[in-house]
A and B are shown apart, each in its own frame.
Chain A
Amino acid sequence: MKLRNWAKTTVLAGAMTAIAGFAFAGGTLRYATVGEPPSLDQHVVTSDLATTIAHHIFEGLYTFDSTNSPVPLLASGEIVSEDGKTIVIALRDDVTFHNGQAMTSADVVASLNRWGKYGSRGGLLFGNVESVEASGPYEVTIRLSSPFGPWKNIMAFINGGPAIYPASVVEGAGKEPIAPENYIGTGPYKFEEWQANRHVELIRYDDYASPSGDADGYGGARVADFDTLEFIPVPDVGTRVAGLKAGDYDYAESIPGDLYADLEADSSVTTILNGGPIFGLVFMNSKDGPLKENFALRRAIQTAINKTPALQVAIGPKNLWRANGSFLPNGNVWYSESGTENFSKGDAAAARAMAKEAGYNGEPIKFMVSTNYPFHYDTAIVYTKQLAQAGFNIDLQVYDWATLIEKRAQPDQWDLFFTHHGFVPDPILISVMNDNYPGWWTTAEKAALKVRFTESSDPAERQAIWSEIQGLIYEQVPTMKTGDVYSYNIASPKLQGLGEATLIWPSFWNVSK
Chain B
Amino acid sequence: MFVYTFNRLLALIPTLLAASILVFLFIHLIPGDPASILLGDTATPEEIAELTRAMGLDKPLWTQYFIWLSNVVQGDLGTSVFFREPVLAVIASGAETSILLACMTMMWIIVLGIPIGILAATRHGTWADQLASGGAMLFASVPTFWLGLYLILIFAVGLGWFPSSGFPSITDEGGVFNLRYLMLPSLTLAAPNAALIIRLVRASMLDVAREDHVRTARAKGLHPARVAIKHIFRNALIAVAAAFGFTFAALVSEAVVTETVFSLPGIGRLVVQSILRRDYPVIQGVILIIVIFYMLINLLVDLAYARLDPRVSLS
Contact = CB atoms under 8 A, between A and B. Distances in A.
Interface of A: 13-14, 17, 20, 32, 35-36, 38-39, 44-47, 118, 120-121, 160, 175-177, 179-180, 194-198, 232-236, 238-239, 242-243, 245-248, 372, 399-403, 405-407, 409, 419, 431, 434, 436-437
Contacts of A402: 31-33, 36-37, 276-278
21 contacts: A38-B277, A45-B40, A120-B39, A195-B265, A197-B269, A198-B168, A198-B265, A232-B263, A236-B260, A236-B261, A238-B149, A238-B261, A239-B263, A243-B164, A243-B263, A246-B156, A248-B165, A248-B166, A372-B276, A400-B276, A402-B277
B31 A234 contact: no
A242 B44 CA distance: 41
B142 to A, nearest CB: 16
B303 to A, nearest CB: 33
Contacts of B304: none
B262 interface: yes
B174 A120 contact: no
A120 B43 contact: yes
Contacts of B32: 400, 402-403, 405-406
Contacts of B82: 36, 38
Contacts of B173: 17, 20
A120 B40 contact: yes
A238 B48 CA distance: 36
A14 B180 CA distance: 12
Contacts of B54: 176
A119 to B, nearest CB: 9
B47 A175 contact: yes
Residue from B37, B149, B165 having most chain A Cβ neighbours under 10 A? B165
Nearest to A10: B176
Contacts of B94: 196-197
B224 interface: no
A160 B42 CA distance: 9
Interface string B135-156: 0000000000100010011001
Interface stretch (B83-91, B105-113, B208-216): B83-91
Contacts of A406: 31-33, 36
Which 10 pairs from chain A and chain B are nearest by CB? A402-B32, A197-B265, A243-B164, A120-B42, A234-B263, A403-B31, A246-B156, A246-B164, A246-B157, A403-B32
Interface residues of B, number: 57
A198 B94 CA distance: 9
Given A39-B38, A248-B163, A431-B42, 6 more contacts: A198-B169, A235-B263, A235-B269, A246-B160, A403-B31, A405-B37
B3 interface: no
Contacts of A46: 40-42
B51 A175 contact: yes
A235 B260 contact: yes
Contacts of B263: 32, 232-236, 239, 243
A233 B270 CA distance: 12
Contacts of A194: 83
Given A46-B40, A239-B165, A17 B260 contact: no
Interface in B159-183: 160, 163-169, 173-175, 177
B77 to A, nearest CB: 14
Contacts of A180: 84
Contacts of B167: 198
Contacts of A160: 40, 42
Contact of B156 (A198, A248, A403): A248
Contacts, number: 152
Interface string B46-82: 0110110010000000000000000000000000101
A194 B32 CA distance: 26
Contacts of B90: 196
B31 A248 contact: no
A245 B80 CA distance: 35
Interface string B201-245: 000000000000000000000000000000000000000000000
B30 interface: yes
Contacts of B168: 198
Contacts of B125: none
User: Interface majority SS on A: helix, strand, loop or mixed?
Assistant: loop
Contacts of A247: 160
A434 B42 CA distance: 8
Residue from A36, A39, A402, A419 having most chain B Cβ neighbours under 10 A? A402
Contacts of A35: 273
B20 interface: no
B310 interface: no
Nearest to B149: A238
B82 to A, nearest CB: 7
A44 B165 CA distance: 32
B40 A44 contact: yes
B47 to A, nearest CB: 5
B265 A437 contact: no
Residue from B31, B50, B149, B277 having most chain A Cβ neighbours under 10 A? B31
Contact of A242 (B42, B149, B169, B175): B149
B45 interface: yes
Nearest to B282: A196
Contact of A179 (B30, B84, B166): B84
A50 B170 CA distance: 28
B157 A242 contact: yes
A20 B177 CA distance: 14
Interface string B250-262: 0000000000111
Nearest to B91: A196
Given A17-B177, A180-B84, A242-B157, A175 B31 contact: no
A232 B166 contact: yes
Contacts of A248: 156, 163-166
A407 B31 contact: yes
B276 A234 contact: no
Contact of B175 (A17, A233, A245): A17
Nearest to B83: A196
B154 to A, nearest CB: 10
A121 B51 contact: no
A51 to B, nearest CB: 12
Contacts of A405: 32, 36-37
Contacts of A121: 42
Nearest to B181: A248
B93 interface: yes
B37 A38 contact: yes
A175 B42 contact: no
Given A176-B54, A248-B165, A196 B42 contact: no
Contacts of A235: 260, 263, 269
A246 B164 CA distance: 7
B165 A243 contact: yes
Nearest to A409: B45
Given A13-B175, A17-B173, A239 B262 contact: yes
B95 to A, nearest CB: 12
A63 B47 CA distance: 28
